[in-house]
Amino acid sequence: MAQAHVIWTEEIASHMGEHGISQEDFEPVLRHPVSKGLSRSMGLPVAGGTRVMVVI
C-alpha cells in the first residue's frame, strides 16, 4: 500500500472516537497492515489491523 499522510481534523478524530479508535490505534494499521485488499463497494484500497478495523 502506498505511503499515506493523514490530516487529522476534529471531524475525523471525533468520528473515529465514536468507534473507540484513537490516532495511536489507527496509524500503525496504515504503516504495517496485517491484511490488504480492495473494498467491495468502492474498489478503493483497504488495510486491516490486528483489531477489527478496516481503513478505507
Across the chain, which has 56 residues, the per-10-residue mean pLDDT values are 74 90 82 80 75 61
Q: What pTM, to 2 d.p., does this model score?
A: 0.54
For residues 14 and 33, the answer to whether their CB atoms sit within 8 Å is no
- What per-residue confidence (pLDDT) applies to 1? 46
- What per-residue confidence (pLDDT) applies to 10? 92
For residues 6 and 30, the answer to whether their CB atoms sit within 8 Å is yes
Where do the structural domains in the chain lie, given as residue ranges?
A: 10-55
Q: Which residue has 478503493 as its cell numbers?
A: 44
Phi-psi region of 43 (alpha: psi -120 to 50; beta: other; left: phi over 0): left
Q: How far is CA 54 from CA 13, 26, 35, in A?
A: 16, 9, 9
